[in-house]
A and B are shown apart, each in its own frame.
Chain A
Amino acid sequence: MIGVVGTVPDPDFPLVTGETRLESDSITIRGKQIPVNRGTPALLAAAIKTAQMLKQGPPFAYLVGDVGLGHGSRRLYEYLIGHLGKRDFSTLVFHYLQPDVDWHNRVLFAVEEMERRPVLIADAGFMYAAKMSGQSSQYDLFTPDMGELAFLADEEAPHPFYTRGFILHEENRAPKLIARAYTHKNAARCLLVKGKQDYVADRQGIQTTIDNPMEEAMEAIGGTGDTLTGIVTALIGNGMAVVKAATIAAKVNRLAGHYANPTPAMQVLEMVQHIPRALSEILQRG
């Protein structure tokens, strides 16, 4: 089973845990509905679609309302510390959470106490906290975009907002930024870098570059990185090796975007509907 930890942009949404379903344009968990726009609900929607295709069970989610004040995230961190040890996940992904180094470390200790160590994935705010904590190498996969890759590569920056100018991203600098992130121990064992071109990399360097199909509009659409993280999480949860899963996920996400015929005004849910077709096609290609 895969576990998903994240937040919902509703200050009144309580801390809820359970299996998730995708119904029309909403995620359903314990009778509560959350619209799929971007963020963790978009990750869940993509993971559910992928899991269905792979005949897997639905993701188990830990969700709480947080609009950036951090109260919800901290309540969720506390809950995880008390409850993670009782669960068994093959893959666990941490997503839109208030970056907080102290809580991050405590959650990581709780993961260490789990009977079976899951494949660990971090994206968004939790990836920021993982980098700041100096414990990136404890993770199996990070899924940064190019701006976030520059942040990982900058050993000084506590947040992408403070990435130094000389490191700031340019697409053709990806190999150097990846190498720098590994040199300073600020990368997970595998990186899936999202951008105009997607890169799958590890300590040895870039393993795969995925640039087809190319839809320029995808960069502007909120949530397309979240869907990529959802797809790769479900693939890894199905037993696929991390590097292979990252490569396939990048291809599927791009193809699903292509089938949605995107404009910069498109919303990510339109793309989610095309994930099954794209996944089927990519898996058939081998």
Chain B
Amino acid sequence: MSFFKRLTSRKKKTETSCKADRGILVFEHTSEVIKAESILKKAGWNIRVMGPPPEIRSGCDLVIEIPLIEKLNILRTLENIGTSPMEIVPVSSPLLQPVDLFQNKDFGKYLMIRAANMKLTVEKETQTIVNISGGGCPDVPYLASKMVGMSLNEAPSPREIGHTLCGYALQLAYEEMKRR
């Protein structure tokens, strides 16, 4: 391939895919957008305020584009200033919803719950977290190092110490396990 063609091909590839890992925060009021933009920019995130895509039919006239993978960390930052978005959706497909199916596997002495790509396993009698598997974001090994070996009630929750969508999925499995 010629140098020029390679450059053109590179540019095209980058342009078409660069939105795929972005998400949108939808807020009820513009004042919340302004507050959130300020705190997220101050914290160093690569974000931008924009008009909502046509699929979004709720909220105010502005949305914030964020790195979607870091949803859990961004939510926690916003909660700390008392602001929560109405919705967080992927830029590429704003109508997509998070996985809400749980799958359970009963090993007798142990119970495993899967949410999306994350699996949490607990010893039933002691409620000790014995394993965490699945996922691909770098907070998964970190979460496992902090949670495995602790009881469900003592372990830090993924919401507290996780940062990514994998951490968010583990939070769902953790909540489902606690509910049982």
A residues apposed to B, CB below 8 Å: 7-9, 37-41, 66-70, 72-73, 96-102, 105, 109, 123-129, 132-135, 145, 147-148, 151, 156-165, 168, 216-217, 219-225, 263-267
- B 122-159 binary contact with A (CB < 8 Å = 1; else 0): 01000000111111111111111100100000000000
A264 touches B121 (CB 8 A): yes
A195–chain B nearest beta-carbon distance, Å: 11
Task: Tell which of B20, B123, B167 has the most Cβ of chain A within 10 Å.
Answer: B20
Query: Which residue of A is nearest B23, CB measured?
Result: A158
CB distance B141 to A9 under 8 Å?
A: yes
A67 cross-chain contacts in B, Cβ below 8 A: 138-139, 142, 163
Contact A147 B116 (CB under 8 A): yes
Establish whether residues B17 and A105, one from each chain, have CB atoms under 8 Å apart when the complex forms: yes
Are B67 and A100 in contact, with the CB atoms below 8 A? yes
- From B123, B136, B142, A99 is in contact (CB under 8 Å) with B136
Number of residue pairs A-B, CB distance < 8 angstroms: 205
- Count chain B residues whose beta carbon lies closer than 8 angstroms to a beta carbon of A: 59
On whether the beta carbons of B67 and A68 are closer than 8 Å, the reply is: no
Query: By the criterion CB–CB under 8 Å, are B17 and A265 in contact?
Result: no
Quick check: B119 and A162 within 8 Å, CB to CB?
no
Whether A101 lies near B137 (C-beta < 8 A) is no
Interface residues in B7-62 by Cβ distance below 8 A to A read: 10, 13-14, 16-18, 20-21, 23
Given contacts A9-B138, A105-B17, A221-B133, contact A264 B117 (CB under 8 A): no
Contacts A222-B132, A264-B110 given; indicate if A162 touches B97 (C-beta within 8 A).
yes
- The yes or no answer to B64 lying at the interface (CB within 8 A) is no
B24 CB, min distance to chain A CBs, angstroms? 12
